[in-house]
């Protein structure tokens, strides 16, 4: 991988991501829920944030945009949610591209969690930023969309190469895994993964990024057979207290 990616914990359980291209020296902040930790992490690396990429309008993903933009960064986000993200300098949608140095990220429209949610896929790097759509062993709540939309998203993600690194927006893996085990108690890959997740969280370690291959084996939402099945899973997850 030519790019360097740094995880930045923000707020209570969010992750922002710093993406740095050592060739051009350019740095992108993805979904900075608050500015200070992201700016501090960039400064610690000796980087200047040149861009912000925003996956959706929710404040825990856009809260740092204004302060980072004030330092000269250009903010790009979903055209369909421009009215809800006043900090945007540029808008993108399905089929558009954004760049960091010479590296190109394809923009995917992945509605469901919010109506205009997008993902950023750096195919040559084997990296995708999924915001609050695909999580480790989970998917986002359907606040503004339908099971059919989220199922279509899962199908798109499942078609990516197994080695694709998935950078999502939250540390939800342990609770997602408990639900997944309730759905598939005989899934040996899932049980093994949860043992690793529980050990990591007990040690205070993060569990993301994940990979498409790992999600294909252990994520009940990515493994759903149809939109109706995904919708029922999402309803059960919304009330799950395990």
Whether residue 37 is preceded by a cis peptide bond, meaning omega within 30 degrees of 0, is: no
Would residue 170 show up in a list of annotated catalytic residues for this protein? yes
CA gap 62, 14 in Å, rounded: 11
| Catalytic-labelled residue, pool 20, 21, 50, 61 | 61
Token representation of residue 225:
């057979």
Q: Which of 21, 31, 50, 60 is catalytic?
A: 60
Has 132 been labeled as part of a binding site? yes
Residue 114 in tokens: 């919010």
Which of 20, 21, 31, 56 is catalytic? The answer is 56
Is residue 124 annotated as part of the catalytic site, yes or no? Answer: no
Tell me the C-alpha to C-alpha distance, in Å, between residue 140 and each of 10, 137, 211: 18, 11, 17
User: Is 113 annotated as ligand-binding?
Assistant: yes
> Is there a catalytic annotation at residue 60?
yes
58 as an active site residue: the answer is yes
Instruction: Name the E strands within 57-126.
Output: 74-78, 90-92, 97-100, 103-109, 118-122
Residue 170 annotated in ligand binding? yes
60 is in an annotated binding site: yes
Q: Is 117 a catalytic residue?
A: no
State the helix-helix crossing angle for 227-238 and 147-158, rounded to 10 degrees: 110
Q: Is 121 marked as binding a ligand?
A: no
- Is 31 assigned a catalytic role? no
Would you say 96 is a known binding-site residue?
no
**Annotated binding residue at 20?**
no
Residue ranges of the annotated binding site are 56, 58, 60-61, 113, 132, 170
Catalytic residues: 56, 58, 60-61, 113, 132, 170
Residue ranges of the annotated binding site for Zn(2+) are 56, 58, 60-61, 113, 132, 170
């Amino acid at each position: 991988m030519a790019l360097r990616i740094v995880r930045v914990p923000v707020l209570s359980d969010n992750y922002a991501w710093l993406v740095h291209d050592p060739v051009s020296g350019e740095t992108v902040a993805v979904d900075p829920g608050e500015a200070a930790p992201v700016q501090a992490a960039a400064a610690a690396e000796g980087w200047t944030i040149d861009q912000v990429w925003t996956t959706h309008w929710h404040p825990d993903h856009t809260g740092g945009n204004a302060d980072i933009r004030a330092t000269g960064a250009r903010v790009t986000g979903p055209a369909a949610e421009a009215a809800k993200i006043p900090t945007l300098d540029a808008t993108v949608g399905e089929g558009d591209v954004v760049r960091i140095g010479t590296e190109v990220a394809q923009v995917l429209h992945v509605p469901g969690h919010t109506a205009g949610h997008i993902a950023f896929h750096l195919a040559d790097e084997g990296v995708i930023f999924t915001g609050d759509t695909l999580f480790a062993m989970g998917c986002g709540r359907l606040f503004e969309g339908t099971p059919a939309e989220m199922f279509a998203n899962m199908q798109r993600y499942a078609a990516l190469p197994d080695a694709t690194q998935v950078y999502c927006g939250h540390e939800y893996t342990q609770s997602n895994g408990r639900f997944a085990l309730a759905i598939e108690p005989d899934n040996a890959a899932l049980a093994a993964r949860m043992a690793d997740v529980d050990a990591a969280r007990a040690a205070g370690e993060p569990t993301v990024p994940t990979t498409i291959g790992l999600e294909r084996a252990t994520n009940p939402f990515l493994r759903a057979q149809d939109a109706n099945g995904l919708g029922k899973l999402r309803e059960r997850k919304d009330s799950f207290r395990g």
